[in-house]
Amino acid sequence: MSLVGKHPKPGDLIEFQRVGYQHWAIYMGDGDVVHLTDQDGKSSISSVMNSSAVVRKDPLEKVAEKDNYRVNNKYDEKRKPLPTEKVLRAALEKVGKRMKYNITTENCEHFVTQLRNGRSFSDQVKNVMTHVTAVATVLLSAFAVFMFIKPITYISLPAIAWRRLLK
């Protein structure tokens, strides 16, 4: 695990770079974070498979494991952060509580941005949805082109060739 960039201060959002996604937490100070995760604190794909998760307070190093992490308060540009004491108090009040989990509307990024900024955001969900839409558009376009070209290629071209032979 390796910190990329500046050292965190209490109330900062911490972004952990996992394989294929980012996990998010709130830095509490003294090396601890609060995050929404599975029961074991692994922040793995098992959270996606369940409709609930638990709020845990864990050492930052334990959550990071071998992954890089950084301070990322990017949503402060969209919405002013709440006072640090209020953020930390709200985070601590949620520790140990089981919460609904939905990858598109109630994930770990939504959880921490709600605490820090008073509104939930998740760019990674927005980015995934944009990519899924783009891929679906390409696939549907390719299918439509194939369906249009197929009759010309397999029916019309042999017929045209046959007519030319008969002339």
- Token pair of 55 as six digits: 């709020």
The verdict on whether 23 is a catalytic residue reads: yes
Identify each DSSP E strand in the chain by its residue range. 2-3, 13-17, 22-29, 32-37, 52-59, 68-71, 98-100
The verdict on whether 35 is a catalytic residue reads: yes
- Closest-CA residue to 26 (of 118, 69, 105, 88): 88
- Token pair of 92 as six digits: 């601590």
- Token pair of 145 as six digits: 């082109």
Active site residues: 23, 35, 108
